[in-house]
Homo-oligomer: A and B are copies of this chain.
Amino acid sequence: MSKIPYKIYLSEDELPTQWMNIRPFMKELPEPMLNPATGKPCTKEDLLPVFCEDLVDQELNVTDKYFDIPGEILDFYKMYRPSPLIRAYTLEKALGTPAKIYYKFEGTNTSGSHKLNSAAAQVYYAKKQGLTHLTTETGAGQWGTALSMACAFYDMQLKVFMVKVSAQQKPHRKAVIETYGGLVIPSPSDTTEIGRKILENNPGTGGSLGCAISEAIEVATHTPDCRYVLGSVLNHVLMHQTVIGLETKKACEKYDINPDIIIGCAGGGSNLGGLITPFMADKISGKNDIHFIAVEPASCPSLTRGKFAYDFGDTGKTTPLMKMYTLGSGFIPSANHAGGLRYHGMNSVLSKLYDDGYFEARSVEQTKVFEAATYFAKCEGTLPAPESSHAIRVAMDEAIKCKETGEAKTILFGLTGTGYFDMTAYQAYHNKTMTDYIPTDEDLEKGFATLPDLCALK
């Protein structure tokens, strides 16, 4: 065993050359996607008008444990990966905890987050298929930024439907996407049928991820050589993110680090899933007993307060149905919620694993999140994204518990990105104008009322 440095950097030779598909490792598979028109499991043909072919194959594959990462994607990854696994020595000292805290830091690329891992892959496959245009949605802007970077690299045209309230609050996020050549359209917009319909029914709405997805899909299916790509929720996206977990596991093995707890923030689930996949596969087969914790915002609590049900992925109800923890596709988090993690549902594999008791979920309020973010920034130097700071909050809570019990647990969390474009929220926290919001049961019931009636579909 080597001495553990502050930052563990694997070499390029140690970069994983395969992604890991968690499904073949599961004792029971998640229920399949359903075609809402037939009520039957989605076929490849159902999905091809919307998604790239290779990605559909990955999405539907429940048997192959590993997928080779194409050389071109590996070359792209080498521009910014492997990412460092960092020992939070200063944070540990400041907390006075006997716990050892590590974080896998995905913010070292300019897109500023882990989203680039899937963006690089998805754009590569689109190019390979001979496509020329892509559409997508973005909320906080991390996914739109990452995708515009990848599209610049592969010379693809990109149209990004950006949740209107985010586009207004974050003009600089928009500017970054435009610098990389992406076209940003605040959503809902009058450029799509579904957008016009949403605007008619909800004049003055600030939009939501669900609306933006509907618009992006409409354009993708009505434009030649164009497909829609998504930054989270789907299984192939989660699989691309396993490069995070595979690197983390390799670094842990190299330096004999044995995590007792692994923590990730959870929106659509791709970063959490990507981080924990290789460890979870071992847990399923009894090789470890790691305590996994998903952390979500109290204002958008799909795992902790949602229903495990079939639901649409978008507000316009145009996507296949997925069995997932969901607040209903009509749920929109309250406007005071800063940053991402605002999706109404959760990746279906994670939903199944959660339902089967393989991990814990916690929800935290945003002032507590920004308190942790600021504390972390002062200790460790890195200014974390609000999303990532959900994981920091719980990592700190667990480290403080260790201080009380005297246990020297090893806590590992995913630091998915940086908060450079979230200074308005940081400033609100600093000025004490930031507020919390926990949806009432009545708020949630309104969301649940938008869940589809499966019987009516058939």
Q: Which chain A residues have a beta carbon within 8 Å of chain B's beta carbons?
A: 5-7, 9, 11-12, 78-80, 90, 108-112, 116, 149, 152-153, 171-172, 175-176, 178-181, 374, 377-383, 418, 420-421, 423-424, 426-427, 430
Contacts and interface: CB of A to CB of B under 8 A. Distances in A.
Contact of A78 (B6, B109, B171, B426): B6
- List the 3 closest pairs (A to B, CB-CB), nearest first: A172-B423, A420-B420, A152-B378
A116 B381 CA distance: 10
A153 B78 CA distance: 32
B427 A78 contact: no
Contacts of A111: 381
Given A5-B78, A12-B6, A423-B172, A430 B377 contact: no
Nearest to A155: B378
Contact of A110 (B90, B383, B427): B383
Looking at chain A's contact residues, is the secondary structure mostly helix, strand, loop, or mixed? Answer: helix
A90 B152 CA distance: 12
Given A5-B11, A172-B427, A179-B426, 17 more contacts: A6-B12, A6-B79, A7-B78, A79-B90, A80-B381, A109-B382, A112-B420, A149-B377, A152-B377, A152-B379, A153-B378, A175-B423, A175-B424, A176-B420, A179-B374, A179-B430, A420-B421
A430 B9 CA distance: 36
Copies held by the complex = 2
A116 B378 CA distance: 14
Given A111-B381, A383-B110, A423 B80 contact: no
A378 B424 CA distance: 27
Contacts of A176: 383, 420, 423, 426
A377 B179 contact: yes
A167 to B, nearest CB: 13
